[in-house]
Amino acid sequence: MRKKIVAGNWKMNLDYQSGLSLFSEIINMAKDEVIGNQELVVCSPFIHLSSLGQLSKNVANVNIGAQNIHQAESGAYTGEISAGQVKSVGASHVILGHSERRAYFGETDALLAAKVDIALKHGLTPIFCIGETKEERESGDFFEIIKTQLTAGLFHLSNEDFAAVVLAYEPVWAIGTGLTASPEQAQEVHQFIRQVVAEKYGQEAADNTSILYGGSCNPGNAKDLFAQADIDGGLIGGASLKSRDFIDIAKVFN
Ligand code: G3P
């Protein structure tokens, strides 16, 4: 059966020491309190990754990830970080397709498809984000928009490669707004995503794909969201910056 995952996206927050302190708290709490098979993934800024990799080396079920990578193998790309580099410091995951990167950094479906390829080549699990804006939801076209994001970013993959991908549905209107999708709204889209995956890769592959919900997820609403049949965990922004909240969200799967 598919994995239950609670992933944190620290975004561009926390200086080096604050990040280490937060991660140490998360690890300690996870050891004592997270007793199910759920996987925790902390996606930090690049500056923390190497140290977090050391801290989490022998901690079962706590992994770390990057929030971006460059699509090239290596070379003259001043200021960029490659898949191989983040892998080399212990990262196992990378967030790709986040709406903030699509909106503020002009990341297109084609670019994201290339980033997915290089991530997989280096053994990184992409946490691939899809989701509609407020206008797109109100227009009623959001199912088509989500299907296009999936198709263009991922459906060039073989069955084997697709099996290594985690999906995250993040309605843009719910990110950092305190406005969460209702469990029913989220489930409706997650079910749709699973159906689109089944049409392309078969029902078994779809049933094995973890689909996370992201958007103002917190300890108060996680239980109802994660109780939905097609919601396999969360991609947590603001609440992942507080160890207590992040662990309480993860404990929903205890
Ligand atoms: O990637 C996580 C995210 O965009 C959700 O952020 O702060 O609404 O939980 P937040």
User: E-strand spans in 37-192?
Assistant: 39-43, 62-66, 93-96, 125-130, 166-169
Q: How much distance in Å is there from the Cα of 102 to the middle of ligand 1?
A: 14
d(CA 75, ligand 1 centre) in Å: 32
Percent of the chain with pLDDT over 90: 96
CA atoms within 13 A on the CB side of 192: 17
Ligand 1 atom nearest to CA at 239:
9
CA–CA gap between residue 6 and residue 65 (Å, rounded): 12
- 93 noted as active-site residue: no
Has the ipTM of the complex gone over 0.90?
yes
The secondary structure of 190-224, three-state, reads HHHHHHHHHHHHCHHHHHCCCEEEECCCCCCCHHH
The CATH topology of domain 5-253 is: TIM Barrel (3.20.20)
Cβ(186)–Cβ(213) below 8 Å: yes
- Region 128-145: what's the mean pLDDT? 95
CA-129 nearest atom, ligand 1? 1
End-to-end CA distance of the chain: 16
* pLDDT at residue 50 in the model: 98
Instruction: Give residue-wise pLDDT tens across range 70-92.
Output: 999 999 999 999 999 999 999 99
Question: Of all protein residues, whose CA lies closest to atom 10 belonging to ligand 1?
Answer: 237
For residue 98, indicate whether it is catalytic: yes
Q: What is the pLDDT of residues 78-131, one digit of tens each?
A: 999 999 999 999 999 999 999 999 999 999 999 999 999 999 999 999 999 999
> Which one-letter DSSP state was computed for residue 241?
G
The values of phi and psi at residue 213, to 5°, are: -105, 140
Which tens digits make up the pLDDT trace of 170-201? 999 999 888 889 999 999 999 999 999 999 99
Bridge partners for 233 per DSSP: 5
Q: Looking at the predicted structure, is the pLDDT value of residue 165 above 90?
A: yes
Tens digits of residue pLDDT in 223-236: 999 999 999 999 99
- Mutational pocket test of ligand 1: of 175, 180, 213, the residue with most ligand atoms within 8 Å of the beta carbon: 175
Task: Give the pocket of ligand 1 (CB within 6 Å).
Answer: 9, 98, 170, 175-176, 214-217, 235-239
Contact residues for 73 (Cβ-Cβ < 8 A; gap 6+): 82, 84, 118
Q: If you measure from the C-alpha of residue 67 to the centroid of ligand 1, how many angstroms do you get, rounded to a whole number?
A: 12
